[in-house]
Amino acid sequence: MTQKQVIIELDRQADRVSIKLKIPKEIEDYFKSISEADTAKSTKWFYDSELQNGAEFYKNADVYKEITDKLSNLGLYVYNDFGDGLVRNKQINIATLRVKGVSEGITLYSDNFTDTGIDFEFYIRELAVAIKAIWREYISKKTIKAVITYDI
């Protein structure tokens, strides 16, 4: 079996923060399968640094609440809001996982990312753990391994 790779990069240029994310296709397909048929366009998160091209998200489904509750029960404090920042009250926002095209690799920009006073290491670590838990609980029941590398 080939290994699945997750790429999470946060970048700060002056007062602008962007997140680059690529996840296995199975996770994007899972979110797509439990979502409504059409997508929603964000007015807060964008595909471009000029903040013009709103990111498309798979629309909320009732199952999203069950996912965040299950992750919280596993000790991961998450929420799911594509109009908010990346961290709120030590909870991480997992809405980045339901961006259309995230399995091909995307970069998101938002003014809200800097408003949260984000701790890059905290967000990357917690999002990686959440991805691992989603994979284990909803995609595959097999054991998985995660490796995180930091450039300082």
In the prediction, which pLDDT does 86 show? 86
**Could you report how far apart the first and last alpha carbons of the chain are, in Å?**
32
| The length of the chain, given as a count of residues | 152
Distances (CA, A) of 122 to 43, 55, 143: 26, 24, 23
In the prediction, which pLDDT does 10 show? 86
1 pLDDT more than 60: no
- Percent of residues in the chain assigned helix, strand, coil, to nearest 5: 30, 25, 40
In the prediction, which pLDDT does 106 show? 96
In the prediction, which pLDDT does 25 show? 95
Whole-number percent of the chain with pLDDT over 70 = 92
In the prediction, which pLDDT does 107 show? 96
Q: How does residue 71 score in pLDDT terms, banded at 50, 70 and 90?
A: very high
pLDDT in tens, 90-143: 899 999 999 999 999 999 998 877 655 567 788 889 999 999 999 988 888 665
Nearest to 139 by CA among 61, 37, 23: 23
pLDDT in tens, 15-52: 778 899 999 999 999 999 998 888 999 998 999 989 89
Nearest to 136 by CA among 57, 24, 58, 61: 24
Q: How far is CA 29 from the centre of its chain?
A: 14
Contact 110, 11 (CB under 8 A): no
Domain residue extents for the chain: 7-139
